[in-house]
Structure 1
Amino acid sequence: MKKILIIQSKILHYRKALYNKLSESYQISVLHSGKPSISQNDKYREIIKPSINIGPFFFQRGIRNEIKSEDYDVVIAMFDIRWINNVVLGLIINGPKFIYWGHRYSKRIFINSIRNFLIKKSDGVILYNDSEVPKIKKAGINDGKIFIAENTIDVSNSENLSMKDKSLFLYVGRAQKRKRVDLLLKAFASIKDEIPKNVNIGIVGEGEENLNLKNLALEIGISDRVIFYGKITDDEYLKKIFSWAYAYVSPDAIGLGAQHSFAYGIPVVTAKNGFKGAEFDKLENNKNSILFQSQDELENVLLRLICEPELSQRLGANAFKLYSEKLNMNNMVSGFINAIEN
């Protein structure tokens, strides 16, 4: 088996499935500076190295020695130029192939020029999606260096739940102010007298914003209609909650929660503008999602989903189809294998 080193800042729980599946084809080692993550069933090797930060920049110690001490075939490093060791490695590494992995362009022209330079110096880049491939090619980068591994999460009990009876508008994820879940509560409060009494809001996850959301629900008179489930790690229980949802609603920032909901045939409702991850590119208005611009529009969206059950069913079926065909974990793994082998 080829030996692969993946360099990350820390191991995120939803990445473990990727590393384990890659371990079926390669000897995978993941080097990071976070807390230990290995469990009995994990197949990858974990290497923890200390990191230091200076202002906005970070540096992981001991990476060059690790690469020298092991005969790695390929090194895959996160494409974040704040992590200085990854920038330096891309310029000086000698021996294994070197590939970047991550988001592509920012809003800063200077930063983008640095990234273009680093891609040219590297052996390749693995992108979260193909939306910016034309820009990369336009920068003079050979398309043979560009690989796509659609960013997603593994949902082992994925199923199309779009036809199930609905009674919930759902948010799943860390409770953060930038997600603007408060906007969902305010919109719901404005229409609560126009919708069935059994329709509620469900919030799954922990975070500093939950207390504020509870206070807001009490203040605007819907505390009896907002269910705070807390953190849920049981996949079957989580699947059951998703089955009740008209839609997954994250009014502003959105990321892998979109793929999570698509895996269960649940459409996404989010704003057209605001903080959006690469996953936003997979949201198609009125096909698998609904995009809105104001609280008034959000209120109308919620009403439509309740009053037109076939709308939620159609959007959800399309969402599940997209996840099944393009956004499942096997496709992401195939993208990595393509980059490693080519």
Structure 2
Amino acid sequence: MKKILVIYPGFPHYRNGIIEELLEDKENEYFFIGDDNMMGTSIKPYDFKGNEKFFNAPSYKVKNFIFHKKMIAYILKNDFDSYIFHSSPFWITILISFFILKLKGKKCYNWTHGLLKDEDSFKSKFYLNFYKLFDGIILYGNGAKKNMINKGFPKEKLTVIYNSLNYKKQIINRDKLNVDDFITLKKKIFGTNYKRPQLIFIGRLTKQKKLTVLLELIDILNKKGQNFNLVFVGDGQEKKNLELITLDKGLDDQIKFYGPSYDEFEIYSLIASSDCCVSPGEIGLTAIHSLTYGTPVISHNNANYQMPEFESIIDGVNGKLFEYNDTNSLVEAVLSWFNDNKDREVVRNNCYKVIDEVFNPVNQKKIINKIK
């Protein structure tokens, strides 16, 4: 059994599925080091609950550079068979730790996004050379792998492990509610208008998500005689602006702001009772969350402006992809999806399939354990 150290600046709560899968692994023994306060950011950290396999290395920031106390001492004192970093050139203590380990002849891998954009910028060339320092790169998506290979990066050094959420705990919720339960929830949110097809967006309400496009979508659909409901689940700096536009367009009986939810069963109820999740900007882990609960996803098709999780959307099977920055294309994607009269149970199972087979921590762990 190999001993492997996973080195992160901090472990976010949404990595709980893969962290727990690695902690329970019987093939290799995994240990973790990072800041248990997520470097003072607003992101909720994963709680290791005093697990002896986690070592806390508090961080501090100097301009754009991040340093970690106690990390180098821990690296010098303890010996592992190989090391998995989540490393940036600007995380100085992590970078120093990497060079120390390379001098000791240790295998070091970088678990990262890689090159998300297919471009020949200074930034992409800089990061490509940085990635070449490692023995291997562990990626979230095939798009980044393709981009790196196109730039001459050795194919054999690239491994795609995809991404996941708290899969084992989430799938327990599946089928806990039935159609009657969903109708009750829809009535609670939309009253007598609950019978309309229901769209959902779940996540932070930020400008980069291009959420005003969703308001345009509902408005255009209305003019075509197609009335939809839309529920926003989340909070953020764009909420007030979205509310004002909703009132200005007279859409307040069709668009509801549910607010943030951190209760997984409540999130399941909201997603599973909706007919489709729509994200006009980058989709990220929202796609995984929605598909896990059997709800199809519509998002745009430009990989250069997407997060790798959009690869979970199979056009026409568990969702639709529309032309980037084209509201009319989004409208047509929504109408096309709903006009096809797809069987909801078939769609639900298509959504489950890509998660159960690929985008889950059990599959991630299997792939990681095969890396030499």
Q: Normalising by the residue count of structure 2, what TM-score does the alignment of the two structures yield?
A: 0.79
Q: 1:292 to 1:134 in 2, by over 3 A?
A: closer
Q: Is the CA contact 1:186–1:220 (under 8 Å) kept in the aligned structure 2?
A: no
Bigger Cα displacement from structure 2, 259-268 vs 44-53: 44-53
5+ residue gaps, structure 2, are: 183-195
Task: Select 2:222's aligned residue among 170, 192, 200.
Answer: 192
Residues in 2 aligned to 1:311 and 1:217: alpha-carbon distance in whole angstroms: 31
Q: Cα offset for 1:122?
A: 2.2
Q: Is the CA contact 2:34–2:56 (under 8 Å) kept in the aligned structure 1?
A: yes
Q: Which residue of 2 aligns with 1:50?
A: 59
5+ residue gaps, structure 1, are: none
Q: Which residue of 2 aligns with 1:237?
A: 266
The number of residue pairs the alignment matches comes to 335
Q: After superposition, give the CA deviation of every residue in 1:300-341 in whole Å (9 maximum; x if it has no partner).
A: 3333444443176655433321111111221112222223xx
Give yes or no for the alignment of 1:326 onto 2:329: no
Q: Cα offset for 1:41?
A: 8.7
Q: Cα offset for 1:171?
A: 0.6
Give yes or no for the alignment of 1:122 onto 2:134: yes
Q: 1:186 to 1:133 in 2, by over 3 A?
A: closer
Q: Is the CA contact 1:91–1:121 (under 8 Å) kept in the aligned structure 2?
A: no
Q: Is the CA contact 1:57–1:83 (under 8 Å) kept in the aligned structure 2?
A: yes
Q: Cα offset for 1:283?
A: 2.6
SS in 2 for 1:212: helix
Task: Select 2:342's aligned residue among 310, 316, 322.
Answer: 310
SS in 2 for 1:323: helix
Q: Cα offset for 1:42?
A: 6.4
> Percent identity of the aligned residues?
24
Residues in 2 aligned to 1:275 and 1:200: alpha-carbon distance in whole angstroms: 27
Q: Normalising by the residue count of structure 1, what TM-score does the alignment of the two structures yield?
A: 0.85
* One-letter amino acid of the structure 2 residue matched with residue 34 of structure 1: M
Residues in 1 aligned to 2:215 and 2:258: alpha-carbon distance in whole angstroms: 16
Residues in 2 aligned to 1:192 and 1:336: alpha-carbon distance in whole angstroms: 48
RMSD: 3.0
Q: Is the CA contact 1:271–1:292 (under 8 Å) kept in the aligned structure 2?
A: yes
Bigger Cα displacement from structure 2, 33-42 vs 257-266: 33-42
Q: Is the CA contact 2:57–2:68 (under 8 Å) kept in the aligned structure 1?
A: no
Q: Which residue of 1 aligns with 2:4?
A: 4
Q: Which residue of 2 aligns with 1:296?
A: 328
Task: Select 1:69's aligned residue among 66, 77, 87.
Answer: 77
Q: Which residue of 2 aligns with 1:38?
A: 47
Residues in 2 aligned to 1:338 and 1:160: alpha-carbon distance in whole angstroms: 34
Q: Is the CA contact 1:177–1:209 (under 8 Å) kept in the aligned structure 2?
A: yes
Q: Cα offset for 1:136?
A: 4.3
* One-letter amino acid of the structure 2 residue matched with residue 235 of structure 1: E
Q: Cα offset for 1:68?
A: 0.9
Q: Is the CA contact 1:5–1:31 (under 8 Å) kept in the aligned structure 2?
A: no
Alignment of 1:1-342 (within 5 A): 2-25=2-25, 26-32=29-35, 33-34=38-39, 37-38=46-47, 40=49, 44-54=53-63, 56-93=64-101, 94-95=103-104, 96-105=106-115, 106=117, 107-133=119-145, 136=148, 139=152, 141=154, 143=156, 145-155=157-167, 156-158=169-171, 159=174, 167-192=197-222, 194-195=225-226, 199-273=228-302, 275-293=305-323, 294-310=326-342, 315-339=347-371, 342=372
Q: Is the CA contact 2:57–2:71 (under 8 Å) kept in the aligned structure 1?
A: no
Residues in 1 aligned to 2:337 and 2:51: alpha-carbon distance in whole angstroms: 41
